[in-house]
Structure 1
Amino acid sequence: MRSLLLATAAAVFLPVCAHAQTPDDPDALPEVVVTATRLAAIVGDTPGARVIDRSVIDQRGAVFAADILTDVPGLSVVRSGAFGGVAQVRMRGASPGKTLVLVDGVPVNDPAEVNGAFDFSGLELSDIERIEVLSGPQSSLWGSDAIGGVIAFTTRDLDGVALEAEAGSFGTVRGRAAAGVSADRYGFGAWVSRFDTDGISAADEADGNTEADGFRSTTAGARGRYLFSQAVSVDGSIRWTESEADLDGYPAPAFVLADTDDTQESEQWSGFGRLRLDAFGLSHQFSLSASDIARETVSAFSSAFEADRQILRWQADGAAGGVAFVVGAEREETEGSLSTGLTEDLGTSSAFATARIEPSSRLSLSGALRFDETDDFGSKTTGRVSAAFDVGGGVTLSAAYGTGFKAPSISQAVCDFCFSSQPFPVLRPERAEGYEAAVGWASADGRIEGRLTAYRLEVEDQITYVFDPVTFDSYYVNVAETATDGVELEGRARLGGGFDLGLAWAWTDARDETTGARLLRVPEQAGSATLGWTGERLSAALTVRGESEQDDAGGVREAFVTANLNGALALTDQVSLTARIENLADERYQQVLGYGEPGRSGYLGIRLRY
């Protein structure tokens, strides 16, 4: 069965590069595989799954993760400042803390952030091989924080030497050096990259702000693997990032967004080690992963936070009676120090299982179940079921139902920034349900494919920070209920003559069920289109992206349309020149109300590979 063959290639939480099937027609689109589902699966059969591979990242000329995640339907990127400003993702209307982010399978969400959200501003893509996005509740696979979905990044397996350099507008300089060796039995690689820019004012220049806010970031990492025998192997990776960003704030006496001397420094590392062992008819994986983040903000209200996380996991993969399955158990421990100097520990013990069966060559059924026992907030059982049916004529029908939960963050658990003469409310984990159905179609020649998805996501017991203007008490409480109804449309095509086209569009109706108000920073409509062309030596891509207006704190952010142009010229098999122009039409726009985005800007670069 196709799923059984795919399962043998799936990794626990370091997704390997999926090998596309080789089509008879060289212009046909390859079949894409997603592995963050624990059991490898065909993207077209998996509702809510998308994959962005290295070729797409290069085609788009994307530098940071926030630059390309905006192309994924149903994702809203919230960026407070163009260079180094806090960048967070809302998936299907869910707040940023409800998106779980993995780098080589290691959770890297910031436990000390108020909602436990991840900041994408410093996540550079030069060392990333592929990005997998799983929309909808995925707690049955990954536990807490996955109510909105999961975004998984996989770093490159290096072979040879690569050097890259780029320079351009706003005093921007970027470089990367990487080297590695890859063989059947072993592989090792290391890399370092640097990004430095003078930037623009984080606060919109249209409001009289002229001070440039710069951003500096260094990333380094290494990964390796060794095969002792067909039954025993080890692998691991480590990734480190240090960044410094100039910020704007809300100075007295007006307390409106304006130029300030605020800065934020952060340092984060993540990594894992894993032993693979075949025994008793199963493929076992024993792993230890860890992440640590420290950040300090210097402003009129300076603060410093630090947090770390460790996960010890066992997983076993197997197949029996036509069923491919994965079972496992893990222990997660998190510690964080907050603005008051308080330190809090949180922990969760979990057991999980997922399986897939194909009753016929046209029907695939999948299910996942997970039990999480938290040290402080009780236990929770979550599940997900999905089905895909090949109707014929290139049409595939698929559907999924899943539940999710999110335990209170460390900040919420100790009620950081809270003031009250009364005991703070006892918090409960947030709960979610998600439904989705999709219709996919692929042409007979394999050159065109598309998918239309409709979904609903409901979140109950959402934790909200409240302020009482009478008593001046402030605290966190389970009070809000939110719901999102949405439609996502996507397609890609090989047009011939070297041209290819990618389309994405989403309609998102996200609202607070308690008040009926639309959720902030979620545009009702967003879409993008990328037209690419590849010749013998020259390649180029034009991307046009737009968002409708969105409600924001203090007003409404206006709709916008912007375009980027990216190109590359291969001088030889080892040397390429690159060029990109961002905001081609010099559009004045904002992603977040009050924060400006760069005008037209250009960059030139060179890539060397040996």
Structure 2
Amino acid sequence: MRPILFTAAALAALSTHAYGQTPVSELVVTAPRLATTPELVTGLRTIERDEIEARQATFAADVLNTLPGVSVFRRGVGGLATVRLRGAEADKTLVLIDGVPVNDPADPSGAFDFGALQLADVERVELLSGPQGSLWGSDAIGGVIAFHTRELDGWALEAEAGSYGSVRGALSGGLAADRYAFGGSVAGFRTDGVSKAAVGTEDDAFETVTASAHGRVDLTDAVRLDGRLRYTSAEVEIDGFAPPDFRLADTAAINKSRAWSGFGRVTADGPWGFTHKLSLGLSDLTRTDVSDFPSRFTADREVWRWTAERGGTEDPWAVVAGLERQEIAADLDGRTGADLSTSAAFAVGRARLGPVTATASLRHDDPDAYRSKTTGRLSLAAELGAGFVATASAGQGFKTPTLSQLVCDFCFPAGPALDLKPETAEGYDLRLGWRSDDGAWSAALTGYRLTVKDQIAYVAGRYVNIARTRSEGLEAEATGRLTDQLSLRLAYAHTDAIDMTTDASLLRVPDHSGSASLFWDGDRLSGALTVRGESSQADTDVDGFSRIRRKGFVVADLAGAWKLTDRVSLTGRIENLADTRYQEAYGYREPGRSVFVGVRVSD
């Protein structure tokens, strides 16, 4: 595995341009709050719709695991899937769908479960690594992953079937014009699966359905309305720690979930060139465990947000400022959670001073249950000539205890947690990027350091502030258009993440990880070959407590499509091409070689 990873790292220092991706100079992203281009921001990556389709990716984890500094922990197909950014715990990754936070307030850590997040209605994924408290408040210590759903003018149909009794289908459509648009989509996936427990013999099925709808209309030349709504239901058979051994094995447990998220927004052009936006974002989640120890958790979030923005990516200066009120409530299987509502004010500004661009952000959060917190971030980008841009940044983050931690759910003896403090973080980045004059080749090398203080841990039956963690590493990435039809995308990351109180490696963070993808985009034939690998890493043994070293792995996936007509294409893909036996989470099995065939129809 190491030769593959280090070869990818070496190539990453030399080449780049992502498959079908908009040239970097034209791509505009919004996860940094103020619309910007990627070369001005450290730790920013994007995955566009054409790459999702070329790889025929079904779930978010299928594309996130190829990005540098991203570690995906998945308990089998459809099982709990969490993402760690730059070694930070999964609860420190803030997840947004169309700008609405969707992390689970009822989960003990507050993390987001990526297990059922389908990509059928997703247009673009933005990853912003490093502490982003000054942009998004609590939970963004490791970074932010933002999903933007699609607006279609026409319709598209996909159907697929394959190994392990798997079937997948998606139907989407819409009508879009300058002054209005509306549409929707529905996507479903089902598989008989394999046993999630590596020692198990009973297959664990998984099925999920996602539906979405969107609309926008210009009421006048200066006032616009838009909104989106997304619904997901999932049911997955899971394995657990049944008596008398209490070790990971086959169980008859089932996890059911239902999630809503969406927003409504009014946009108005105001005086002095400012654009004002007032939005209401909502998310609602219900999780039900059907097992020997049944439980039901519910949580909902309401986010009111107002922003005023002026300036575009080409303007000498730009600014956005806003106010936000977030209401959070949860029911922890009959136990009402504490109040974690908060109010906030923030501002982001950017100024170009010749070859140097400075970006600064500041945010003041005032949680109802805790003392207020102010966080900031500063970034400087300098054009060095010959296509090189150097960018340096420093930022802060924080995370308030979750509802489950405050109530001290699962604590022994029972009773609320005492004197829990919010976690705080500081992060530093230095990036050297290069892009060819024609935009066909680019590369970047990023070094970073992230420290987290007062990290909350579950120790001896209680939640306490004990840990101080440190992650530092190197991320290399490259994309390049080799010919008119052939493109290359490479990524490598070295991550050194430790608990500074014990000097032990943090769980589920590989020291080395990397990926290499080739994309072919011909007149009739298109396809993608992706190889990715991880080194060994610390994990939890099948008893659920002891530490163990999970082996590293290298896997490859191949996808292709043949265009029969301008509207109809046949598709095929092979996952785990070499039939590798591997585990993304210790003790949990991943499927062997899987073959899928399907059809795409669009208008």
Match of residue 301, structure 2, among 296, 309, 326: 309
TM-score under structure 1 normalisation?
A: 0.92
Q: Distance in 1 between matches of 2:555 and 2:287?
A: 32
State the distance in 2 between where 1:27 and 1:331 align. 36
Identify the residue that residue 230 of structure 1 maps to in structure 2: 221
Secondary structure of 1:247's partner?
strand
Where 1:59 maps in the other structure, the secondary structure is: helix
The correspondence for 1:512, drawn from 475, 485, 499, is 499
* Equivalent runs, 1:433-512 vs 2, <5 Å: 433-467=426-460, 474-512=461-499
1:393 aligns with 2:393: no
Once residues 21 and 511 of structure 2 are traced to their aligned partners in structure 1, the CA distance between those partners, rounded to angstroms, is 35
Q: 1:44 aligns with which of 36, 39, 42?
A: 39
Contact kept, 8 Å, 1:339 with 1:416, in 2: the verdict is no
Once the two structures are superposed, residues 219-270 of structure 1 have per-residue CA deviations (whole angstroms, 9 ceiling, x without a partner) of 1010110012221000000000001000011111111111111100000000
The structure showing larger relative contact order (alpha-carbon pairs under 8 Å, at least 6 residues apart) is: 2
Q: Decide whether aligned partners of structure 1 residues 185 and 512 sit closer, same or farther in structure 2, where only a CA change above 3 A counts.
A: same
Q: Offset at 1:182?
A: 0.2
1:313-360 C-alpha deviation (Å, 9 max, x unpaired): 110012499431001101001001113533333210000000000011
Letter in 1 for 2:488: L
Q: How does 1:206-355 map to 2 (within 5 A)?
A: 207=199, 209-281=200-272, 282-319=274-311, 322-355=316-349
How many Å separate the matches in 2 of 1:391 and 1:420? 60
Asked whether the 8 Å contact 1:29–1:494 carries over to 2, the reply is no
| Equivalent in the alignment of 1:363 | 356
Secondary structure of 1:120's aligned partner: coil
User: Are 2:54 and 1:59 equivalent residues in the alignment?
Assistant: yes
Structure 2 spans left out of the alignment, 5+ residues: 1-16, 542-547
Tell me which residue corresponds to 1:11: none
Q: Is the 8 A contact 2:21 2:48 kept in 1?
A: no
Q: Does 1:542 align with 2:536?
A: no
Deviation at 1:29, TM superposition (A): 4.4
Change (3 A) 1:442 1:563: same
CA contact (8 A) 1:34 1:49 kept: no
Counterpart code for 2:64: L
Give the whole-Å Cα distance in 2 for the aligned partners of 1:147 and 1:421. Answer: 29
- Of 565, 584, 594, 1:591 maps to 584
Cα deviation for residue 390 of structure 1 reads 0.8
Unaligned runs of 5+ in 1: 1-22, 468-473
Deviations 1:14-61 (A, max 9, x none): xxxxxxxxx9xx999453322111111111221000010001111122
1:162 correspondence with 2:162: no
Q: Output one character per residue of 1:409-462: Cα deviation in whole Å (capped at 9) or x when no partner.
A: 110111111123887321111000000001111223432101000000000011
Deviation at 1:394, TM superposition (A): 1.1
Find the residue that maps to 2:192 and give its secondary structure.
strand
Cα distance in 2 between the residues matched to 1:559 and 1:319 = 47
1-side partners of 2:406 and 2:252: how far apart? 32
Map Cα deviations across residues 578-603 of structure 1 (whole Å, 9 max, x no partner): 10000000000000100011100100
1:249 aligned counterpart, secondary structure: strand
Asked if the contact 2:407–2:417 (Cα under 8 Å) also holds between the matched residues in 1, the reply is no
Which moved further from structure 2: 129-138 or 320-329?
320-329
The one-letter amino acid of 1:552's match is: D
State the TM-score, normalized to the length of structure 2: 0.93
The amino acid that maps onto 1:161 is W
* 8 A contact 1:76–1:90 mirrored in 2: yes
Relative distance call for 1:27 and 1:53 in structure 2 (3 A) is closer
CA distance in 1, matches of 2:161, 2:236: 19
**Secondary structure class of the residue paired with 1:170:** helix
Pair 1:569-2:562 in alignment: yes
- Per-residue CA shift, 1:450-498, capped at 9, x if unaligned? 100000000001111110xxxxxx2111111000011000000000151
Asked if the contact 1:541/1:566 (under 8 Å) is kept, the reply is yes
In percent, how many aligned pairs have the same letter? 53
Q: 1:361-440, aligned counterparts within 5 Å?
A: 362-420=355-413, 424-440=417-433
> Aligned letter for 1:492?
T
Aligned positions, number: 575
